[in-house]
Chains A and B, each alone.
Chain A
């Protein structure tokens, strides 16, 4: 289980696999097919791959048109340009029409690393989850990415899948029974619940080991689906443990932390401490260095758990 894999690698492999069984599957990119791994699909199914060039708005507009003519479309670029540059096209041409387009965006979050602030998205989950009917998924490792991507691509309707650049440790086996919309309980515990998403799931697992050694019992939930949100798991956590820590490689504004607070505020108030990017831009650096500097490692989760308990 200590093999590393980037979720974008899993994406490329999943596309190739599904390309064989789904003749209606069309893949698009905006001049980043080597980085997003859609190029893997292009190699095998060149007639079903379309490059939009460096034109993200038209990428998603064309994707909508193809899907409204019967295709299942996966359209990829970096998360910054997909959800930022093309937001309104995704909202109006894909969300509003319930088009069968999967916005599979890579290079999300601080772990883009050396490219720096212009490429480090912390807003994408917030943007995508405000679109009515949009399914929003943020896998934590290569295996869960493969499993969840296959489900997303085979279901009808618009979806956003957040994928990363950097290799991340495996959390799951290849055949885990994961389900879109259903949070995964990774560890049962009674003191504090850590609800993590994406690469922060692994940090949560590491934090738990240290906290457990100190005698603190931690429940860990992988909230791989940000929308539709598993509200029941959150309400249960609120009622059965003393509080919740959320952990995401995303702004503490608008993403998982906000989504959890919305549920607790409405239905089961409890103390919630959010771990994530603190309303600031990133900078160039190695992914691990950046995670430390910007507050997205196990140590910050441990501090947050202690804040909940004090």
Chain B
């Protein structure tokens, strides 16, 4: 399999997103690192996109509903060649294009401006509905955080996706178990995630969100389903960096230069 190539891309994405956050002095490393494999697989294996023509009519769409993970989206788009990766080092800087949360007008490949949780999922449902209405076979993918599932609009959107039979829509839940104030289970219980989506008429599959093989099987399952599919990806917040892993404290804190150096060494040494 070509997973070796994907592993290499994932390492680059990890390093680059951490560099950008370090350079910015603020940002969200934890929830970016937990989604690296998911985005890598989407942009290098699953989705039809053209980095030379980001608005190509035949493209699949990806909406980062957990918009605070902007660094992983920017690093992935850069790795895929939508722009030079160095550009993302202007992350969160005034006058720059790489906003703290994604803005579709500013960065090629960003389909939707997000940041307010739950908002992107609802928009993704509308995009999938438009494709269905037009008889197109394009697909829409959306990444949600687990804490994000506490937003009411998520379930309004989930209900609508089932009602309108949007089998062209795949949601991935980055289930790292942590949110700003601590564990989901302590803040506001969201589990059982897969049962909730099933109750809303979706097909679901639970996978290891850091294994490319598992991610592949998840998207293969989604391809074959006749319903909207929720891929519940078990992940670790801060994955790939020992001192960030499973630590809610790294939800929204930038590494300093020393920490970045250590993180990069760990990622390269993996």
Contact = CB atoms under 8 A, between A and B. Distances in A.
A26 interface: yes
Contact of A53 (B103, B124, B152, B160): B160
Contacts of A55: 153, 156, 159-160
B180 interface: no
Contact of A97 (B104, B153, B156): B104
Which of B123, B126, B129 has the most chain A CB within a 10 Å cutoff?
A: B126
Interface string A29-63: 00000000000000000011010110101101111
B115 interface: yes
B116 interface: yes
A21 B163 CA distance: 28
9 contacts: A52-B160, A61-B122, A65-B112, A65-B122, A65-B123, A89-B116, A92-B113, A93-B113, A98-B105
A96 interface: yes
Nearest to B63: A65
Contacts of A137: none
B109 to A, nearest CB: 14
Contacts of A70: 130, 134
Contact of B127 (A47, A57, A58, A69): A69
Contacts of B133: 26, 47-48, 66, 71
Which of A26, A71, A97 has the most chain B CB within a 10 Å cutoff?
A: A97
Contact of B123 (A26, A52, A53, A64): A64
- Give the 3 A-B residue pairs with the shortest CB-CB distance, closest first: A65-B126, A61-B122, A69-B130
B157 interface: yes
A71 B132 CA distance: 12
Given A68-B112, A69-B131, A96-B113, A89 B153 contact: yes
Which of B111, B113, B131, B134 has the most chain A CB within a 10 Å cutoff?
A: B113
B164 interface: yes
B114 to A, nearest CB: 8
Nearest to A91: B116
Interface string B145-176: 00000001100110110011000000000000
B125 interface: yes
A26 B133 CA distance: 10
A89 B121 CA distance: 12
Interface string B34-64: 0000000000000000000000000000000
A210 interface: no
Contacts of B111: 68
Interface in B230-249: none
A70 to B, nearest CB: 7
A97 B112 contact: yes
Please classify how large the interface on chain B is, using the bins under 10, 10 to 19, 20 to 34, 35 or more: 20 to 34
A57 to B, nearest CB: 4
Given A26-B133, A57-B152, A62 B126 contact: yes
Contact of B156 (A58, A66, A96, A98): A58
B204 interface: no
Contacts of A47: 133
Given A61-B121, A68-B126, A89-B122, 15 more contacts: A53-B159, A53-B163, A55-B156, A55-B159, A58-B122, A61-B125, A62-B122, A64-B122, A64-B123, A65-B124, A66-B129, A69-B130, A89-B116, A92-B119, A96-B103
A269 to B, nearest CB: 36
Interface of B: 103-105, 111-113, 115-116, 118-119, 121-131, 133-134, 152-153, 156-157, 159-160, 163-164
Contact of A57 (B112, B113, B122, B131): B122
A63 B126 contact: yes
B165 to A, nearest CB: 12
Contacts of A68: 104, 111-112, 123, 126-127
Nearest to A94: B123
A245 to B, nearest CB: 39
A88 B247 CA distance: 30
Contacts of B124: 65
Contact of A62 (B104, B129, B152): B129
B160 A92 contact: no
Contact of B126 (A48, A64, A88, A92): A64
B191 to A, nearest CB: 23
B156 A65 contact: no
Contacts of B121: 61
A97 B127 contact: no
Given A55-B159, A69-B131, A92-B116, A61 B164 contact: no
Contacts of A62: 122-123, 125-126, 129, 157, 160
B112 to A, nearest CB: 7
Nearest to A57: B153
A65 B142 CA distance: 12
